[in-house]
């Protein structure tokens, strides 16, 4: 093997290692949750739009939030968020949240609700990395 070939092989291995390493660098804090009033009232209650965004370079699936006391006077889209226990909600039916494609939903209640990320599973794949 020539020095150039060896160099290219080492470089390729290093690049692959760095891409695979992205999954290990995803943190719960990479799932950002924001809520804002929409300005709309539903049955006299303020409507809030919640945005769940993934700031990790890899998609993250199985995102669960602590969602204590999550009432709403308007229907909440169950494909975006749904209860899976007395204190947990599952986002996007457990499917991946990809970077740049946040999950959003609205609800209406007296006060804003607090959502805390409990778990998420990075899903780095070679196909995703090539896109």
Q: How far apart are CA 15 and CA 57, in angstroms?
A: 15
pTM score of the predicted model: 0.76
The rounded distance, in Å, linking the Cα atoms of 27 and 113 is 23
Residue 25 has a pLDDT of 79
- Tell me which residue range forms the domain holding 36: 3-130
The neighbour count for residue 9, using CB atoms within 10 Å, is 11
- CATH label of the domain that carries residue 37: 2.60.40
Q: Which two tokens stand for residue 18?
A: 């760095």
Task: Give the tokens for residue 121.
Answer: 């599973």
- Cβ-based neighbours of 113, under 8 Å, separated by 6 or more: 35, 48, 67, 69, 70, 107
- How many domains in the chain? 1
Per-residue pLDDT of the chain (131 residues; tens, 9 = 90+): 665 434 433 443 334 344 444 445 799 999 999 999 999 999 999 999 999 999 999 999 999 999 977 789 999 999 999 999 889 999 999 999 999 999 999 999 999 999 999 999 998 865 444 44
């Amino acid at each position: 093997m020539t020095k150039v070939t060896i160099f290219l092989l080492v470089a390729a291995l290093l690049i692959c290692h760095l891409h695979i390493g992205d999954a290990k660098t995803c943190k719960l804090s990479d799932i950002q949750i924001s809520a804002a009033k929409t300005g709309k009232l539903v049955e006299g209650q303020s409507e809030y739009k919640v945005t769940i965004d993934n700031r990790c370079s890899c998609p993250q699936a199985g995102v669960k939030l602590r969602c204590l006391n999550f009432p709403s006077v308007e229907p909440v889209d169950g494909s975006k968020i749904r209860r899976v226990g007395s204190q947990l909600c599952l986002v996007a039916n457990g499917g991946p949240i990809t970077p740049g494609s946040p999950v959003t939903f609205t609800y209406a209640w007296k006060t804003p609700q607090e959502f805390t990320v409990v778990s998420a599973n990075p899903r780095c794949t070679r196909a995703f990395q090539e896109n």
